[in-house]
Structure formats: structure tokens, C-alpha cells
Structure 1
């Protein structure tokens, strides 16, 4: 058995090493061939440029040919020599009302630094701008943080500068969205927007659509349900406010954060007519907001752009004077929050996560499959070990059951032996009762027979008297026969029939029988009231009480102040027959020892007395309880269930 277990252990170790090596090798291959897709690893994803298109396009390169330029508006600026104009792509969404000045100021700065002939500006929609980036035709891109973050992962864009508004103290927390309603509506929380008409700016707006959708998801709501009835009113936020306040075609409006503050100062929108919903407290933005905050716009460079040109454009943006309400360009900030949004909504570079793929599932769940294979190997090995142990335990169990059967047979034989001894003891102990009971009928028979004999000798037999005497002799003989039959029944292990009787009668008879036996000089004090109705066998109750009195007398032998007390009282649903003596001081341990069969403190005893009493108590559905007295001696309590008084019983 031990050799089998050793061999199995070696096999398990080898299987574990083989499976672990195979899975780790597959995992390494999958990591080296698959693009990283987690938000922390977007920089490791290669751009998907088309090599054929890239080779056919001449990318701009630049050299500084002189330190200063004394010509016109570019006086004092370095002079650059371009091999081709730099190409700057601008997403169409940049033409939003509140971003137009930022775009114009940025382009003017580039014109001022490099000359208009060296800067080519092209505006595209989102899809077209993606194609231009794929073709490699652009050098720089001016776009919002959503487009930049998506192309950073897919096309390798690198941020040169981030827009820093004067309305925030941290440029990576510059934009968000706010929910509002009229003050006369019953809408108090974001959850109550469900089923109400909603007004927003544009379905492609980052702040107006994507940011609210993620916010609702974070609140544990379903965006598709709450925004089911949304209506888009164009890029001008004033149209959304008018739809909620004036036309009342919508109950809830969604706008970029700070848009309402701008309208309040520029168009006179009164904030007292609006109620904000789900406002978030704190943060660097100095405007009301209902969502988390994200970076604003990025000026980014594409892969392959001339490093000298990149450096020159960066320097130009950083020294650019403020525009609008004091906004300017600063160092690029982290866009982790935008990637978290993409990941939660399963869009952009994480759109594939919304579609189930077996290959991706296997790649992402490598640890699970490794654990699964290891689990299967473990289960097989465990099953083998269990089968071996089951066979071993089964054999041990059979042996244990055989031992148990043998022990049970021995215990049954011992119980039968004790029961026989108890029966024998009962028959022997009933001799006193039998002698007392038989004495009366036998004496009566003798007296009646002697009377008849004397009358017969005198020849004075009266037929009627003869009949009466003979009937009495028959009755007394029948009674004696019943006594003998009772003893024979006990000897044959036949339990007596229980009948509802007044138990006080047999208790008094037992006390009187014990007194006449002269076993002790100790006085017997009793407190027994009549009409103790119980379902009993009078003979057995009398026998049990005689045994208790006998034990008490034995315990008091040689004591000058000996006394026995017999008391009967109601205890719960029982009649408690209590026999108390004032013998020597004993412990509960001694009492428990005395209660065991065949244990006695007398050299000539068999230890069956208390066992007989216990058997009688069980046959009467009662119990025998023994406790030591604090001042010495013991108290035995025989509990017999109480019964209702029989009907038509004379009191």
C-alpha cells in the first residue's frame, strides 16, 4: 500500500510540472503575439499604418536655417526650412461653439511660428480622420480626449500638449457633464429621470453622451433605459436649455459642465429656474457637475513625424499666450480616466470585449484553464487515493463490525444474566410479602376446616352452614392460588398488567410489612395522603418500597440517631415517593457507583436491589433518582406518573 502511494505521488508531481510548463509556454506565446488591451498598456499597441500609402507620401521635415527673422509679423522668430508643409488634422467636433476660439488661436500660433505656407490644416469627421491617420498622411492632430485616447491605442498618437482651462486647477480633470431640470418638475434624483424626455447636444459628444452613460452605469442604472427618449438639439447648448425651460419639450437636460455657467453670464439664463440632479461635491473644477471629470483636448503627434518638427511645435504651443477666458496649452496629462470610461462602456479600443471570442476567452482565462487541468489531475489522483483508502477502511470496518457484534452479543448475554438475577431476586424478595399474604388465606382455610371437623364429630352439620363454610374455603384457596400464580409469572418473565389504583394503599401496606419485619429499630416518619391515583401494579410498587426501606435500614445500622422518612408529593406530572435516611456522609460519586448493577457496599449482597427498583420504575414509565443529603445519608426518589381518578369512585 505504501509503495502504491509513493508511486502515485511521483506521477502527480510529474504531471503537475508538465502541465505547468505547457501552460506557461502557451501563455508566453500568447502574450508575445497578442496586442495588450488593458488600460495600463496602451503604449505597447503598434499603429495599424498602411505601408503602401505611407511610402507614397512625403512627410514634412524641418531645419532651422537662421536664428531670427526680420520679416513682418514673424520678426524675431527662427526661420525654418520645410521639405513639405506640416499637415494638421482637426476633428470636426472642434468647431463647437465653446471650442472655436481655441482652434483659431492655436492655428494662428502655428501660422505665426512657422508661416502659413508651411502649415496645412484639414478638418475631418471622426471616421475620415481615422482613415487619414491609418494612411500616415498627417503629422499632428487636434482632437478631444476621447478621439485622442482611442487613436493613442489604435494608431500610436503621442500627446504633445493638453488644454488647461482656467476653470480647473488640474488639467486632467477639466470636463464632465451636468444633469438639470426645471424647478417645477417632481424630478429630484437621477433615478427619477427614467421614462422622462431628455435633451442633449450631440450623440457623438464626449461630454454630452459618453460621460453621462458611464456615470449612469456607475450609479447602478441602465443607460439605455434612462436615455431611451433622449432628443439631440445640436452643438449649441442654448438649444438644450430652451427645450427644458421655454418649450418644455424635455424634462431633463444634459450639458457639458460649465456650459450653464457660461450661458448664465453670456445669455442671461437665470440659475434659479434650474434644479441640478446628482451633483458631485469637491474636485478641481469650479463648475457644477454630476459626473466624474476627464481631461479636455490634446494636441498630438503621429508616428513618423520629424523629431525636430515635433520639438518646434511643442515649444510654440507652450509659449502661446492664453486665449478665451485664459486657457492655454500645457504639458500632456494622463488620460487614464478616459480609458476607464472606454473599458466600462466596452467601446473604442475595448469594443471587442463586448463580443465573446473563444480565442480571447482562452487567452484571458489561461490561469483558469491551468487550474482546471490541475483540478482534473487532482481529482483523478484523489479518486485513486480514495478508492485505496475505501478498501482499507472497508476492511477495517468489517473487522470493527465483527468486534462490535461480538461485544453486543456478550453485552446481551450479560443483560440477560442480570435480568435473570433480577427476576430471581424479585422472587426471593417477595417471600416476605408471599408469607404475609398466604398466611391469611391459609389460616382462614385451616380455621374453617377445623370448625367443620368439630361439628362433624358432634353430628351437628347444618347444610346451609356447610355450604357457606365451603364457599369461604374455596374463596381463600383461590386467593392463595393467585398469590402463587403471581410468583410463577415473575419467574417466567411475564410483566404484570398495570391498573389505575390508589397507590397510597400499597405504600401503607409496604411500610406496615417492613415494620413487622423488625429489620431496624429506627423510627419511620411518613407523610402519605390518600388518593394517589396512578397506573401501577400494587405488588411491584410495594416490592420497590420494601427494597428502599431495606436499603435505608442497612445504611443506618449501628447509628443511635437513626431515622427513616417516607414522603409522597406531586412533582410535575409524577407522584414522587421519597425515602430518606440520615446515615453516613457520602458523595455524588458514591451514589453514582451504587446505582450501577451488581455493585453493593455489603459483603453478602448481590447488588441487585437498586437494579430491581430501577426495572420496576421503567415498567411503570417512571424513574429512580438518588442524591446525597448535605448532612449525611441519602434520599431515593421513585417517580411514578400520575393518573386521573377513575369514574364512579367513592371518596
Structure 2
């Protein structure tokens, strides 16, 4: 007969094993709690998207009535025209967003079509500047050596992903101005193997700890004290639908570099 050698852990060894087991159990509970939270908020989001259709339709109708009223009064000056167009564009964007949420809830995907990543990124930057009141204090730069960058994508979802990265970067840069002017750099390039495009969104900000970075790539946990973590979950989901890779690294001087790698469409 052969007997396996006995292993004596001692009180200290058992204590270490128990601590490790407790830690793993706590992590699992945390993941399940996050999933439950996301499920509840997803249901609320579906309800809100459904109920928002009527108010959006009403706003659209009133905008058209207001436009007709100005035309009849011949009082359609440049300022009024600009305000009206901005309102119309934002209501249209809201309507598209609501439709996307409803499609997601029904497990329906918007069709992916030939999309220019350069134009989508520029549009996201313009929308950021139009919707963020404090964005003027953040210096935004966009650098692309590519005139076009064709990918297969749902244009609105891809813009939403990029806009989310830009907004998070701008808010982080704008709230941490102790080390100079806040910056938000956006760069688009072709990968070394010429198979994909790489979009980098770099923002200044606080020094990120290993824990902060791990939370960025974990399941739906926000690095913001008042955040729900849903923004990151949404953009990860959009990246997955496009077969894209999304990553985050810390900057040596503080802040984050978000990278999106998406396959090039060869036509």
C-alpha cells in the first residue's frame, strides 16, 4: 500500500486559506450584485425608452409648428434659425438613442454598414462640444494621418461609444486642473499589420492606481464615486458587437489612455 504524505498547514496556513476563500466569495457576491443592479437598471431603461417615445414625438411636432410660426412672421433671423436647428438635431439624436435602446431590449441589432471612422470621430467631438457646457476649458485635439478609415459598423452605436470615451475623458481632465491645462487628445492611426484602425483617447487627470485600472476592465464597476458603471458596460457591449478591442492604460503624468482597435473594411 502507498500512502500520500500528510500535509500539515497549521493554524496560520488554515487562516491564510480561509482569508483567500473569503476574498473570492466576496468577489463573487460583488459580481452577482453588479449583475443584479445592471438587470434592474436595464429594465428601467427599457421602460423609460418606451415611455419617452410620446414626449419626443410631441417635441418634434411642436418644433415643426414653431418653425412654421416663425416662417409666417418672417422673423426667422440667424439666431432663431441656429437655435431651432440645434434643438431639432438634439431631439433627433434622442429619438435615435431611444430606438437603439428599444432594439437592444428586443435583441435586435441595427444593421452594420460601411462607415468612415474619421467622420464618426469628428462628429462625436462636435456633439461633445455642443452638449457639454464646461468643455471649453478642456483643450481638445484630433490628430489623424488618415483621410478615411472605413469600417463595418452601426454608425450611431459607434459614435455613442466614442462620445462616451470623450465625455469621460473630458470630465476627468476638467475636474483635475492642478497640474496645468486639462487636455483631451484623440488620435487615429492604422495598425502595423494594416488590418485594423486604432483610436486613442488620452486625457489628463489624477494618477490611476492598479485598483482604478482594474475597475475599468472589471464587470460594470465605475471609477467615479457617484457612477453606476453602466457607461463602461455599454461601450464594452458596443465594442463586442463590432468585434473591436477596448483597453485602458494609465498615463505617467496622470490620466487615462483608452484604446479602441477595430478591423479595417477592405473594399
Common fold by TM > 0.5: yes
Are 2:114 and 2:152, in contact at CA under 8 Å, matched by a contact in 1?
yes
Q: Is the 8 A contact 1:422 1:611 kept in 2?
A: no
1:596 to 210, 218, 231: 218
- Which residue of the other structure, out of 254, 258, 261, is the alignment partner of 1:632? 254
Q: Residues 362-399 of structure 1: CA distance to partner in whole angstroms, max 9, x if unpaired? A: xxxxxxxxxxxxxxxxxxxxxxxxxxxxxxxxxxxxxx
- Give the superposition deviation at 1:543: 0.9
- In the superposition, the TM-score normalised over structure 2's length comes to 0.64
Residues 489-515 of structure 1: per-residue CA shift (max 9 Å, x gap): 234342222111112222111111111
**Which structure has the higher relative contact order (CA within 8 Å, separation 6+)?**
2
Give the 3-state SS of the residue equivalent to 1:561 in structure 2: coil
Query: Is the 8 Å Cα contact of residues 567 and 578 (structure 1) preserved in structure 2?
Result: yes
Cα deviation for residue 590 of structure 1 reads 2.6
Asked if 1:502 is matched to 2:100, the reply is no
Could you tell me how far apart the structure 1 residues matched to 2:70 and 2:246 are? 49
**Alpha-carbon separation, structure 2, partners of 1:566 and 1:486:** 26
- C-alpha change, 1:444 and 1:425, in structure 2 (3 Å) is closer
Offset, 1:440: 11
TM-fit CA distance, 1:425: 6.6
8 Å contact from structure 1 (residues 425, 608) kept in 2? no
2:127 pairs with 513, 520, 523, which one?
513
Q: CA offsets, 1:614-642, max 9 Å, x none?
A: 11110000110111112221100011111
* 1:32-85 Cα distance to aligned partner (Å, 9 max, x none): xxxxxxxxxxxxxxxxxxxxxxxxxxxxxxxxxxxxxxxxxxxxxxxxxxxxxx
RMSD: 4.0
Q: Distance in 1 between matches of 2:262 and 2:238?
A: 10
Q: Which runs of 5+ in 2 are unaligned?
A: 2-27, 75-88
Which residue number corresponds to residue 24 of structure 2?
Answer: none
Find out whether 1:489 has 2:109 as its counterpart: no
Which of the residues 615, 619, 622 maps onto 2:237? 615
- Please give the residue correspondences for 1:11-50 in structure 2 after superposition, counting only pairs within 5 Å: none
Q: CA deviation at 1:594?
A: 2.3
Q: Which residue of 2 aligns with 1:562?
A: 182
| Length-normalised TM-score, structure 1 | 0.28
**Which of these two proteins has the greater Rg computed from alpha carbons?**
1
Which residue is 2:16 aligned to?
none
| Structure 1 Cα separation of the partners of residues 64 and 70 of structure 2 | 10
Aligned to 2:155: 538
Q: Note if contact 1:568-1:578 (Cα within 8 Å) is conserved in structure 2.
A: yes
CA distance in 1, matches of 2:168, 2:46: 15
Instruction: Give the structure with the larger helix fraction.
Output: 2
- Conserved 8 A contact 1:438-1:480: no
Written as runs of structure 1 = structure 2, the 5 A alignment for 1:186-197 is none
Q: Which residue of 1 aligns with 2:14?
A: none
| C-alpha contact 2:215 2:223 (8 A) present in aligned 1 | no
Query: Which 5+ residue runs of structure 1 have no aligned equivalent?
Result: 1-8, 10-407, 456-475, 646-651
Q: Distance in 1 between matches of 2:254 and 2:63?
A: 46
Mapped to 2, the partners of 1:420 and 1:639 lie a distance apart of: 31
Find the counterpart in structure 2 of residue 527 from structure 1. Answer: 143
SS in 1 for 2:252: coil
1:445 matches 2:67: no
Instruction: For 1:428 and 1:632, locate their aligned partners in 2 and report how far apart those are by CA, in whole Å.
Output: 37
> How far apart are 1:542 and its partner, in Å?
1.1
Instruction: Call closer, same or farther: CA 1:447–1:542 in 2, change over 3 Å.
Output: same
Contact 2:220 2:232 in 1 (8 A): no
Q: Report the counterpart of residue 119 of structure 1 in structure 2.
A: none
Query: 2: CA distance between counterparts of 1:574 and 1:427?
Result: 37
Are residues 1:553 and 2:170 paired? yes
Q: 2: distance between equivalents of 1:427 and 1:534?
A: 33
2-structure distance, mates of 1:564, 1:575:
19
- 3-state DSSP class of the match of 1:524? strand
Distance 1:558 1:481 in 2: 30
